[in-house]
Amino acid sequence: MKPFELPPYPYDRLNDLRAIANERHAYPVDMSIGAPFDPPPPSVVEALSASGLERGYPASNGIAPFREAARDWMASQFDAHVDATTQIGATVGLKEFVAGIPHWLRLRDPDKDTVLYPAISYPSYAMGAELAHGRAVPVPLDENWNMVLDAIDPADVARASMLWVNSPGNPTGAISNLADTAEWGRSHGVPVISDECYIEFTWDGPADTIVKYGTEGVLAVHSLSKRSNLAGVRAGFYAGDDELVRWCQEMRKHTGMMMAGPSQHAAAVALRDQHHVEVQREIYRDRLALMITFLAEVGVTAPMPGGGFYLWAPAPEGAWNLATRLATDVGLIVSPGEFYGADGSEYIRIAVVQSNEAIADLSNRLAS
Ligand SMILES: Cc1ncc(COP(=O)(O)O)c(C=O)c1O
């Protein structure tokens, strides 16, 4: 077996742009990484020091109050019903789960070495497949950025351990048809893992989860990072098919994947509160509109996404050229679309995770 060739971490490739912005402007307005900017709810921050769970090892599957809060949130917000004991497990944020599950599923069936994922998507889908010494096979997208499942080579379907779907999608904001995707997975014997970490920021139509269409052969995966601005707390969960959940729970127990006890307690508090999410939704909706207006001033046309807090804008002058122009002229840092797949190379992604004041500063810099 060949040694693994570790690629550079995508966002480290923006250091030159950050240096340009720093040299010319009072401060860079970094909208490259989707790290939350707004504060988490104070009640959740207080709950972090009130759990009494510091001493013992935390439950790898998640403590009952956390799993029950996750169950109740899915039922009340999305009318989706899962059992809190056999159909839910905790994650240490979502990224470790995304990067880890291809490995665990390959151990479950060593003949299945292929991960199918949207051709333009969160980079960890492909990375997880590679870390499992497996094949990362991108699924082509249509003009609405949705996967064309019929275009997958049957030989790849036969070797697939799983299919990723991400709705609302990062970076394109596309909303997928989760009922059809679940059906495709069941009829082809391919588990569908549905990354729904932007579900609360669905702008087009009602928010949707794959488990609403039955749990067999599917997992929905969720994160508190975006919903509640808790990326530092590392809290998420997976929910769905009993057998897939059991396998993940057991694998994760063996490898010590445990969300910290205080995080579990605080995450349960966060999941039982919708008010802060409603406030955050309005903040993002307004900020997306504000940023679309600013981008038009610099000749960039960005449509309102179907969901999420990213703008996905064409870059006719070339993505790196446009990213360099924005860093130079106004100190704005954005991500070239190639970070999310070769098919995205003529686009840039802008995460609206800076304050409205910073966006106003971009306009002032342009005017001066
Ligand atoms: C599509 C998608 N999935 C998963 C994650 C991971 O989120 P976290 O590890 O903070 O839960 C991100 C983070 O940006 C994401 O964009």
What pLDDT is stored for residue 4 in this prediction? Answer: 85
- Does the CB atom of residue 168 touch ligand 1 within 6 A? no
Measured torsion, CA atoms of residues 273, 279, 285, 286, in degrees rounded to the nearest 10: -170
- Does the CB atom of residue 34 touch ligand 1 within 6 A? yes
Tens digits of residue pLDDT in 64-108: 999 999 999 999 999 999 999 999 999 999 999 999 999 999 999
The first and second tokens of residue 53, run together, are 């769970």
Indicate the pLDDT class of residue 318, thresholds 50, 70 and 90.
Answer: very high
CATH 3.90.1150.10 location in the chain: 10-40+275-367
Ligand 1 nearest atom to the CA of residue 33, by list position: 14
User: DSSP of 309-320, one letter per residue?
Assistant: SEEEEE-TT-HH
CA of 94 relative to ligand 1 center, distance in Å: 6
User: DSSP of 318-353, one letter per residue?
Assistant: -HHHHHHHHHHHH-EE-EEGGGG-GGGTTEEEEE--
User: For a pLDDT cut of 70, what percent of the chain falls above it?
Assistant: 100
Tens digits of residue pLDDT in 15-42: 999 999 999 999 999 999 999 999 999 9
What pLDDT is stored for residue 1 in this prediction? Answer: 75
Nearest residue (CA) to ligand 1, atom 15: 122
Mean pLDDT of 192-218: 98
Measured torsion, CA atoms of residues 259, 114, 246, 261, in degrees rounded to the nearest 10: 0
Q: Determine the residue of 225, 237, 271 to mutate for testing ligand 1's pocket, defined as the one with the most ligand atoms within 8 A of the Cβ atom.
A: 225
Mean pLDDT of 171-195: 98
CA of 93 relative to ligand 1 center, distance in Å: 8
CB neighbours (10 Å) of residue 186? 16
Q: For residue 64, what is the enclosing H or E element?
A: helix 64-78
CATH number, domain 42-271: 3.40.640.10
Ligand 1 nearest atom to the CA of residue 34, by list position: 14
- Which residue, chain included where needed, has tokens 């917000």? 77
- Does the CB atom of residue 195 touch ligand 1 within 6 A? yes
- Does the CB atom of residue 94 touch ligand 1 within 6 A? yes
- Does the CB atom of residue 122 touch ligand 1 within 6 A? yes
The first and second tokens of residue 16, run together, are 């030159």
CA of 226 relative to ligand 1 center, distance in Å: 8
Contact 168, 199 (CB under 8 A): yes
Q: Distance between CA 87 and CA 274 in Å, rounded?
A: 23
- Does the CB atom of residue 225 touch ligand 1 within 6 A? yes
Q: pLDDT at residue 347 above 80? A: yes
Mean pLDDT of 302-326: 98
Which are the contacts of 223, defined by CB distance < 8 A and separation ≥ 6? 91, 93, 94, 197, 235, 236
CA of 365 relative to ligand 1 center, distance in Å: 32
Q: pLDDT at residue 216 above 90? A: yes
- Which residue, chain included where needed, has tokens 């039955």? 214
Mean pLDDT of the chain: 97
User: For a pLDDT cut of 90, what percent of the chain falls above it?
Assistant: 96
Mean pLDDT of 235-258: 97
CA of 225 relative to ligand 1 center, distance in Å: 8
- Does the CB atom of residue 170 touch ligand 1 within 6 A? yes
Q: Distance between CA 94 and CA 196 in Å, rounded?
A: 10
- Does the CB atom of residue 231 touch ligand 1 within 6 A? yes
Q: Distance between CA 166 and CA 198 in Å, rounded?
A: 9
Topology of domain 10-40+275-367, CATH: Aspartate Aminotransferase, domain 1 (3.90.1150)
Q: For residue 258, what is the enclosing H or E element?
A: none
Q: Determine the residue of 31, 91, 122, 222 to mutate for testing ligand 1's pocket, defined as the one with the most ligand atoms within 8 A of the Cβ atom.
A: 122
CATH 3.40.640.10 location in the chain: 42-271
Nearest residue (CA) to ligand 1, atom 12: 95
Q: pLDDT at residue 183 above 80? A: yes
Ligand 1 nearest atom to the CA of residue 225, by list position: 10
Indicate the pLDDT class of residue 48, thresholds 50, 70 and 90.
Answer: very high
Task: Please say whether the dihedral angle defined by the alpha carbons of residues 281, 282, 283 and 287, taken in this order, is positive or negative.
Answer: positive
